[in-house]
């Protein structure tokens, strides 16, 4: 049975290394309070945005210039009934050369249409990836988007 995890893709003119470095600079493209480290396997970091969203991620895979995977180990989404809906999901960044550009494929595995936060969360991810991360990769500055 096919699941429909949320996925979006970016193409940038920067190198895979520049994309990889920007992804791991979470404070550079997420607006909110971030505590902990984000740059090596087994690092854990917590994200909090007001009383709306808090989540804890563990870096479970990191292949320089190719892939980053975070597993959500704790979550509190205060705008839905099941506030822990993200627990056990994975946030995946796959980086590949594409012609003369770099492609970043973002997938939130477990964020599927059948869960309550899908619409709000997929819209927030779209904005965060297509504006915040894209801007950080291409200009070195983020537009300050929250998730």
Taking only the tens place, the pLDDT of each residue in 124-147 is 999 999 989 999 999 988 765 544
Is residue 20 over pLDDT 50?
Answer: yes
For residues 102-117, average pLDDT: 96
Output helix, strand, coil percentages for the chain, rounded to the nearest 5. 25, 40, 35
Per-residue pLDDT tens over the stretch 92-105:
999 999 999 999 99
**Could you tell me the pLDDT band of residue 30, with boundaries at 50, 70 and 90?**
confident
What proportion of the chain, given as a percentage, has pLDDT over 70? 95
| pLDDT at res. 145 | 53
For residues 73-86, average pLDDT: 92
Angle CA 85–142–18, to nearest 5: 95
Provide the β-strand partners of residue 77.
53
Q: Rounded to an integer, what distance in angstroms lies between the CA atom of residue 131 and that of residue 63?
A: 24
| pLDDT at res. 147 | 46
Report the mean per-residue pLDDT for the chain: 92
Taking alpha carbons only, the member of 130, 74, 99 closest to residue 13 is 99
């Amino acid at each position: 049975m096919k699941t429909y995890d949320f996925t979006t893709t970016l193409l940038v003119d920067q190198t895979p290394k520049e994309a990889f470095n920007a992804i791991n600079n979470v404070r550079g493209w997420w607006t909110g309070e971030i505590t902990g480290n984000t740059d090596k396997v087994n690092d854990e970091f917590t994200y909090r945005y007001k009383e709306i969203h808090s989540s804890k991620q563990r870096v479970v895979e990191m292949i320089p210039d190719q892939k980053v995977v975070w597993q959500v180990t704790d979550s509190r989404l205060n705008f839905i009934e099941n506030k822990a809906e993200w627990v056990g999901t994975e946030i995946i960044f796959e980086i590949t050369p594409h012609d003369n550009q770099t492609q970043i494929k973002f997938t939130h595995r477990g964020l599927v249409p059948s869960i309550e936060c899908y619409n709000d969360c997929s819209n927030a991810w779209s904005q965060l990836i297509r504006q915040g991360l894209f801007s950080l990769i291409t200009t070195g500055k983020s537009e300050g988007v929250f998730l």
